[in-house]
Amino acid sequence: MSEPTVFPEDLPEKATVVRARQAGGSEVFETAEVPLPEPGPGQLLVQTRAAGVNFIETYQRSGVYSVEYPFVPGSEGTGTVLALGEDVEAFHIGQRITTTEAATGTYASHFLVDAAKAVPVPDEITDEQAAALPLQGATAHYLVNSTYRVSPGETVLTHAGAGGVGQILTQLLKAKGARVITTTSSAEKAEIAQAAGADHVLSYDNFAEKVREITNGDGVPVVYDGVGRDTFTGSLDALAVRGTLVLFGGASGPVPPLDLQELNRRGGLYVTRPALHWYLRNAEERSWRFTELFALMSARELKLSIGGSYPLADAGRAHGDLESRRTTGKLILIP
Percent of the chain having pLDDT more than 70?
98
* pLDDT per residue as tens digits for the range 177-214: 999 999 999 999 999 999 999 999 999 999 999 999 99
Beta bridge partners of 183: 202
Q: How far apart are the first and last CA of the chain?
A: 37
Burial class (CB in 10 A: 0-12, 13-18, 19+), 112: buried
**Which residue ranges make up each domain of the chain?**
14-133+304-334, 139-275
CATH architecture of 139-275: 3-Layer(aba) Sandwich (3.40)
What pLDDT sits at residue 4? 66
pLDDT lower than 50: segments of the chain: 1
Q: Helix 283-298 and helix 134-142: axis angle, to 10°?
A: 100
φ and ψ at residue 55, rounded to 5 degrees = -60, -30
> Is the fold of 14-133+304-334 the same as that of 139-275?
no
What pLDDT sits at residue 11? 86
What pLDDT sits at residue 168? 97
Homologous superfamily of 14-133+304-334 in CATH? Medium-chain alcohol dehydrogenases, catalytic domain (3.90.180.10)
Rg (CA), the chain: 21
Residue 257: count of CB within 10 angstroms of its CB: 5
Q: Helix 164-175 and helix 283-298: axis angle, to 10°?
A: 80
* pLDDT per residue as tens digits for the range 264-301: 999 999 999 999 999 999 989 999 999 999 999 999 99
**CA pair distance 57, 61, nearest whole angstrom:** 6
* pLDDT per residue as tens digits for the range 109-126: 999 999 999 999 999 999
Query: Whole-prediction pTM value?
Result: 0.92
What pLDDT sits at residue 253? 87
Q: CB-hemisphere CA count at 13 Å for 133?
A: 27
How far is CA 303 from each of CA 47, 85, 122, 157, 334, rounded to the nearest angstrom?
Answer: 26, 34, 16, 20, 20
Instruction: Identify whether the C-beta of residue 70 lies closer than 8 Å to the C-beta of residue 105.
Output: no
What pLDDT sits at residue 1? 43
How far is CA 19 from each of CA 6, 54, 307, rounded to the nearest angstrom?
Answer: 28, 15, 23
Q: CB-hemisphere CA count at 13 Å for 325?
A: 10
